[in-house]
Amino acid sequence: MKKLAIILAAVAVSFSAVAGDWANRLDVEARAAYGIGGTAPVGMPATIRALNSYTPQFNPMIGVDATLPLSNDGRWGVMAGLQFENKAMDEDAQVKNYHMEITRGGQTLAGMFTGDVKTKVTEWMFTIPVQATFLIDKVNLKMGPYVSLLVNRDFSGWAHNGYLRVDDPTGAKVELGEAQDERGEYDFTSSMRRAQMGINVGADWHLNNKFGLFADLSWGLTGVHKSSFKTIEQTLYPIYGKIGVTYRIK
């Protein structure tokens, strides 16, 4: 028992020393950014004919991260952090034979829609990125996966300025106009995922010992909707770029 106690004490001391060394080597930064992007399929399907309009939304990001150098020269490292951000968009697209489910006048209809579709997406989330880093002079290149947990979400809009063929392309024709009582509303918020995964690539540029600039591109690998959601035939991925500033805390 005495030998075991001595071994455990030695392991604890060694672990404390290693943990203390890691803590001393960590670079800690706060960062803030603004993002722009969209929720879209990869590759434009034939059912989406044109983008009528796109309006940037309020997409801030604030966070903190820590980088641990892994090589003696400090070039290679690993970065992990915690961010709070929004990925939102507001767009209107022209579609043809686009599968939709709408509600109008208390009645729910599903089928193939031809006309214009207005879509509003909001995704407030906490994101944990883990990235490999490589330092070249004052530029820190980085790449790695991220996991996001949504705390507020919305995917809604309306179909307008067209017609819906109920059930299939030869079904009964329902005209949809521009006025609120003439268009077809939809809300697919409840079918959105609570957790998302993706890949983030970017670069940090250190202006001096305290301040820097950065640019990131995040590409979702999981669609914003659950795999069981089939109303929209294409899988929609969140694809956003961010530009921001960093401040070195430690």
Residue 107 burial (CB < 10 Å; 0-12/13-18/19+)? exposed
Which of 212, 91, 192 minimizes the C-alpha distance to 148?
192
**Is the Cβ–Cβ distance between 198 and 238 less than 8 Å?**
yes
Query: Can you give the pLDDT at residue 56?
Result: 85
Distance CA 37, CA 62 (A): 17
- The CATH number of 26-248, from 4.10.280, 3.30.70, 1.10.10, 2.40.160, is 2.40.160
Query: Can you give the pLDDT at residue 23?
Result: 66
Residue 143 burial (CB < 10 Å; 0-12/13-18/19+)? middle
Domain boundaries, the chain: 26-248
What does DSSP say about strands 173-176 and 76-86: parallel, antiparallel, or unpaired?
A: unpaired
Distance CA 2, CA 150 (A): 51
Beta strands, E only, the chain = 27-40, 48-55, 60-69, 76-86, 89-104, 107-136, 139-166, 173-176, 184-187, 195-206, 211-220, 237-248
Beta bridge partners of 69: 77
Which of 196, 4, 226, 235 minimizes the C-alpha distance to 83?
196
Full pLDDT tens readout for the chain, 250 residues: 455 345 434 433 433 433 445 567 799 999 999 999 999 998 888 999 999 999 989 999 999 999 999 988 879 999 999 999 999 999 999 999 999 999 988 889 999 999 999 999 999 999 999 999 999 988 999 999 999 999 999 999 999 999 999 998 888 999 999 998 899 999 999 999 999 999 999 999 999 999 999 999 999 999 999 999 999 989 999 999 999 999 999 8
